[in-house]
Amino acid sequence: MDIYLDGMKAIAPELVLTALALVTLVADLLMRGRNSRFIGYITLAGLAVVGMMLAMRVGAEPQTVFGMVEVDSFGTFFKLFTVASVAVVTVFVLSDRSERKDGIGEYYFLLLGAAIGIFFMVSTNHLLLLMLGLELLSLASYSLAGFHKGERKSAEAAMKYVVFGGLSAGVMLYGISLLYGLTGTLELDVMATQAGNAMPFGLVPQLDHNVIPVAIAMVMVLAGFAYKMSVVPFHFWTPDVYEGAPTPVTTFLAVASKAAGVAALLRFLGALFMTEGVQPVVEWYGDRIGMLLAILAAVTMTLGNLSALRQSSLKRMLAYSSIAHAGYILIGVATLEPDGFSAAMYYMAAYYFMNLGAFGVLLYFESAVGSDRIEDLKGFGWKAPLISITMVAFLVSLTGLPPTVGFYGKYLLFKAGIDHGLSWLVFVAAINSVVSLFYYFSVAKALFLSEPAQRPALSQPLFAALLTGLGLLTIWFGLMPGSIEEFVQRCLLL
Amino acid sequence: MENILSLITFIPLVGMMVIICLPKQAIGLIKGVSLVATGIPLVLATQLYFAYDPAHGADGSYWAEEQFAWIKMINANYHVGVDGISLPLVWLTSLLLFLGVPASFGIKKSQKAYYALLLLLEVGIFGVFISLDYFLFYVFWEIMLLPMYFLIGIWGGPRREYAAIKFFLYTLAGSVLMLIAIIALRLDSGTFSIPLLVEMASNGTLTGASLPGGGELLGMSFSTWAFWFLFVGFAIKIPVFPFHTWLPDAHVQAPTPISVILAGILLKLGGYGLMRACFPILPGAFVENAYFLGILGAFSIVYGSFVALGQTDFKRMVAYSSVSHMGYVLLGTGALTVWGTDGAAMQMFAHGTSSAAMFMVVGVIYDRAHHRDLNGFGGLSQPMPVYWGLTTFCFFAALGLPTMSGFIAEALTLVGAFQSSDTRFQALVLFSVIGIVITAAFLLWAIQRVFLGPLNEKYKDYPDMNFREIFCMAPLLFLCLLLGVFPHLILDKMEPSITHLVNLLQSAAN
């Protein structure tokens, strides 16, 4: 009984989050779909509570509860990330002028449901729970992508997402079942450290005799992560879903959902190849996987950037740019070393500020200009200077130029890459940043390099304040990156 | 003053903040703040210049150093200081930016944003010249790009969007390569400090041995690729053939004051970067390739002058003359002699004054005629005698007439290159002389086409240069003459630091 209670205490943030989701659902029911804004405020308040509970947990002793939930700082980092992203997305929903005022209570419920999925997905070494978390996240995301049922694009996005997501989940699940069959366990650290012939067998006997089935299983599991992170060749859904989904949902998919994929991948690889007592042959195999990831990284960033070059819609461009960023993050992942992982985590933090910011500005432009075409933004910078200058800060950061958080993130990734023999990949990434400048700055060009637009700006002071805050943080953490880096390293206890 | 370098660097930033807070209708106030925010650094830099004791540079130490920890996790410091190589350039920056403000009074579009960006640009330039920490250096290097992009892109000519992004892309392509090299150097040495890196290099401990695979990349050894990556980053800025193609576009499209700053200072950043943060850090690779660099320099001298000869656009002609003049910097340093390097450093200063004045000359006529076609003028000496006189003065400075600073710089460079222990440089010197002749030819021909011959009726009512225009140009021309007659005013300050640098490089050659 005590163990049970301790376990409940350890997953208190998850429980509060679940309760919060239920509260929003019931509240919406009681108010008969009226006054949905109020539910948004409940969500924000609840998220603040969950965030505080998580913040107090940073640096605490790691523990395993219920046999499969790892409560540790690594998970806490990504849970905080998720809470912070969902909070900002909630504000986006509240500020979205194209959204209905009433009858959208389930918007918040779905967002919170997705967050619960992420919470479990990022805090387990057990493949079954990982799969469950991932599916919960996916189901909520499908509904969110199709939230504007009446709109063709939104419905199409949801449909594509379901088909592609279902396929990827199936492939991943099949990979997991193969791994289970081969090793006799679903626990990753056991798989990596088991040396003898007793049940469960672990990976060692398989790698000693017959690598092919393990390779097939491994690639299938990786496909599931690649799909969540939108890594080539599992990225096909990204542009269409990002474009069709309501912009706040796109933001959620691009930031929180992608981070969940990164977190799960880091934990998967960490538990499998970097735990204490890992068998030499498993470690050797890890290097092969690292090489595969490095190649995927190179292809992903190049393809993402080249496709982004041709986009005329800002939203689609940001979708392709998020594919390219998945490629950059993989540099850190592919090193399979703690400093590479911490670089990837730092980059996720950087990604949080600059992408939430960029999508927020996109949302503002959609309301103010009524279009997401870059061409239609011509000269708008002179009409809405504050938001547009903030946008330039985000674009500079996305390109990876100082003095912004994106530059420092890229610096850490490059450093980790060069330090672990991936100089060629860093070279590819560097060339890619130059390419990305061209399309990122097509936005700056449209905003400022044309004569002032006729259309008046839209006054959304609170929303503008949020975006400006994100912009200032983007620059501040570029000049003073130490605090985030220290935080990341405290959280990365593999 | 203890923090004089930080003051010089960040006073323009304060000015920028003040301007941002001012209402955009308060144009007089905005201009006043800009003058003050560029004027104070000029005063401070002048004071620093005269206070500087050149003997200080003889052992490679720095003046007015400041150092404190910045990003502790990666051991990046805020470490600044000047020596005989950077100090004249710091002073030149403060002068040109100060003159750039009144030179911009003709600009009427979005003036608040213009002056704010101009001041931000100044912060970046100062930062690069004073940084002694490679991370800090890189941050300032990149900070410059953004204001420059907007200054060309918003206030430029008809093809400004193309020119602005081309400038940005070229420079960024160079600087990401630099970044890779900087990170590799950091991983190998454990430090970003430029003086420390130079010291390690001279001890032969900077070999890439602590990098995986000995630091090999794309089949090249560590020191080779690191050298070329850094070199390309700086060479694009100089610009050396074949990396120069962004320059004519950027110059032609940029508004006059921005062209002045671009030619006067931004090009110097490349040459300065090579002397400060490339050659002495990888001296082995530099010595191996010195002759090739000499060829690039000599070829740029001749190529730039020939292309300038063929231009009909006044500004394009001046832009290509920069390619030609900046070739001396590479030729002089490549020769590995004290005279050659002295000449290169002096050429940077001399070109900084003369090319800045030349772009002002172009600006004066463009403001009146609204075109720059060299063949469309004629006889302008009659309505504008002062303009004619100053232009002739300026062009003589640029073509290296004796008693002008350009003459001293070019003569030093060529004599220095001739003395080089690598006798192949003598051939390069002979080849470069072609460039001098052609430079004289296109400049004199331009004077003939613009000022002599029958007066075009359209231009007979043009007013001569006004006080503001003369005020901006006169100090630069005065400097050309002053340093041509008394070159020791600047050479004495530079000499010990340059000698130290050349000794460092020569010891790698032996």
Q: What is the pLDDT of residues B375-397, one digit of tens each?
A: 888 888 888 889 999 999 999 99
Sign (positive/negative) of CA torsion B428, B429, B432, B437? Answer: negative
Is B500 domain-assigned?
yes
Q: List the one residue out of B320, B277, B316, B308 whose CA is nearest residue B442.
A: B308
Q: List the one residue out of A40, A38, A54 whose CA is nearest residue A487.
A: A54
**Rounded (10°) angle between helices A73-95 and A36-57:** 160
Q: Which residues of chain A have a CB within 8 Å of the CB of B173?
A: 431, 434
Is B507 domain-assigned?
yes
DSSP alpha helix (H) spans, A35-151: 36-57, 73-95, 105-121, 127-145
What are the structure tokens assigned to B450, written together?
A: 């613009």
User: Which residues lie closer than 8 Å to A69 by C-beta, 6 or more apart?
Assistant: A7, A10, A11, A120, A123, A124, A129
Q: Mean pLDDT score of chain B, rounded to an integer?
A: 90
Tell me if chain A has a CB within 8 Å of the CB of B164.
yes
Q: Which residues of chain A have a CB within 8 Å of the CB of B155?
A: none
- Cβ atoms within 10 A of the Cβ of B284, count? 18
- Cβ atoms within 10 A of the Cβ of B1, count? 12
**Which of A411, A412, A486 is the best mutation test for B, with the most CBs of B within 10 A?**
A411
Round to whole Å and give the CA distance between A93 and A108.
Answer: 9
pLDDT 10s digits, B431-467? 999 999 999 999 999 998 888 888 878 888 888 888 8
Round to whole Å and give the CA distance between B127 and B134.
Answer: 11
**Exposure letters B236-248 (e unless 16+ CB within 10 A, then b):** bbbbbbebbebbb
Tell me if chain B has a CB within 8 Å of the CB of A433.
yes
Tell me if chain A has a CB within 8 Å of the CB of B112.
no
Is B338 domain-assigned?
yes
Amino acid at B84: G
Q: Phi first, then psi: what are they for A65, rounded to 5°?
A: -120, 155
Asked if A437 and B169 count as a contact pair (C-beta separation under 8 A), the reply is yes
Asked if A482 lies within 8 A of B72 by C-beta distance, the reply is yes
Tell me if chain A has a CB within 8 Å of the CB of B350.
no
Chain A segment 364-403 residues within 8 A of B by beta carbon are 382, 392, 396, 399, 401-403
Give the domain range for residue B445: 286-510
Is B352 domain-assigned?
yes
Q: 3-state secondary structure string, B41-95?
A: HHHHHHHHHHHCCHHHHHHCCCEEEEEEEEEHHHCEEEEEEECCCHHHHHHHHHH
Asked if A85 and A256 count as a contact pair (C-beta separation under 8 A), the reply is yes
The pLDDT value given to residue B262 = 92
- Number of A to B CB contacts under 8 A, please give it: 91
- β-pair type (B63-71, B76-82): antiparallel
**What are B56's strand-pairing partners?**
none
Of B149, B160, B169, nearest to A438 by CB-CB distance is B169
At residue A101, the 3 state secondary structure works out as: coil
Strand residue runs (E) in A153-273: none
DSSP alpha helix (H) spans, B238-337: 246-253, 256-261, 267-277, 283-309, 314-334
Is B213 domain-assigned?
no
Give whole-number Cα distances, B214 to B184, B286, B475, in Å: 11, 19, 52
Asked if A433 lies within 8 A of B176 by C-beta distance, the reply is yes
**pLDDT at residue B180 tops 60:** yes
Round to whole Å and give the CA distance between A24 and A47.
Answer: 12
Round to whole Å and give the CA distance between A100 and A24.
Answer: 17
Give the mean pLDDT of B255-260: 92
The pLDDT value given to residue A471 = 94
The pLDDT value given to residue A200 = 73
**pLDDT at residue B6 tops 80:** yes
Q: Could you list the pLDDT tens digit for every one of the 494 residues in chain A? A: 677 888 888 899 999 999 999 999 999 888 877 778 889 999 999 999 999 999 988 878 888 888 888 898 899 999 999 999 999 999 999 988 888 877 788 899 999 999 999 999 999 999 999 999 999 999 999 999 999 888 898 999 999 999 999 999 999 999 999 999 888 889 888 888 877 667 777 888 888 888 888 899 999 999 999 999 999 889 999 999 999 999 999 999 999 999 999 999 999 999 888 888 888 888 888 899 999 999 999 999 999 999 999 999 999 999 999 999 999 999 999 999 999 999 999 999 999 999 999 999 999 999 888 888 999 889 888 888 899 999 999 999 999 998 899 999 999 999 999 999 899 999 999 999 999 999 999 999 999 988 887 777 788 888 899 999 999 999 999 999 888 888 888 888 64
Residue A437 distance to chain B (closest CA, Å)? 7
Round to whole Å and give the CA distance between B188 and B53.
Answer: 34
Amino acid at B363: G
**What are A63's strand-pairing partners?**
A71
Q: How far is CA A332 from the centre of its chain?
A: 15
Tell me if chain A has a CB within 8 Å of the CB of B210.
no
DSSP alpha helix (H) spans, A245-337: 247-252, 258-273, 280-309, 314-334
Residue A70 distance to chain B (closest CA, Å)? 28
The pLDDT value given to residue A290 = 93
Is B373 domain-assigned?
yes
User: Which residues lie closer than 8 Å to A209 by C-beta, 6 or more apart?
Assistant: none
DSSP, residue by residue, B359-390: HHHHHHHHHHHS--BGGG---TTTT-HHHHHH
DSSP A64: E
Total count of domains within chain B: 1
What are the structure tokens assigned to A218, written together?
A: 């491994």
Amino acid at A24: T
Asked if A449 lies within 8 A of B153 by C-beta distance, the reply is yes
Sign (positive/negative) of CA torsion B13, B248, B178, B234? Answer: negative
What are the structure tokens assigned to A361, written together?
A: 């500005």
- Percentage of the residues of chain B whose pLDDT score is greater than 70: 100
Tell me if chain A has a CB within 8 Å of the CB of B174.
no
**Which of B142, B151, B187, B246 is the best mutation test for A, with the most CBs of A within 10 A?**
B142
Residue A342 distance to chain B (closest CA, Å)? 13
Report the run of H or E that residue B236 belongs to, with start and end: helix B222-237
Q: Phi first, then psi: what are they for B118, rounded to 5°?
A: -60, -40
pLDDT 10s digits, B278-325? 999 999 899 989 999 999 999 999 999 999 999 989 899 999 999 999
- Look-up of token digits 């004569």: A451
Closest residue on chain B to A402 (Cα)? B139
Asked if B160 and B253 count as a contact pair (C-beta separation under 8 A), the reply is yes
Round to whole Å and give the CA distance between A340 and B441.
Answer: 58
User: Which residues lie closer than 8 Å to A30 by C-beta, 6 or more apart?
Assistant: none
The pLDDT value given to residue A162 = 94
Of A427, A448, A480, nearest to B180 by CB-CB distance is A427
Amino acid at A434: V
The pLDDT value given to residue A205 = 80
Q: How far apart are the first and last CA of chain A?
A: 29
Closest residue on chain A to B153 (Cα)? A449
Q: List the one residue out of A336, A144, A327 whose CA is nearest residue A241.
A: A144
The pLDDT value given to residue A493 = 63
Round to whole Å and give the CA distance between A373 and A224.
Answer: 32
**pLDDT at residue B237 tops 70:** yes
Tell me if chain B has a CB within 8 Å of the CB of A342.
no
Is B324 domain-assigned?
yes
Round to whole Å and give the CA distance between A118 and B192.
Answer: 40
Is B85 domain-assigned?
no
Closest residue on chain A to B169 (Cα)? A434
Tell me if chain B has a CB within 8 Å of the CB of A284.
no
**pLDDT at residue B219 tops 80:** no
Of B72, B143, B154, nearest to A449 by CB-CB distance is B154
The pLDDT value given to residue A348 = 94
At residue A90, the 3 state secondary structure works out as: helix
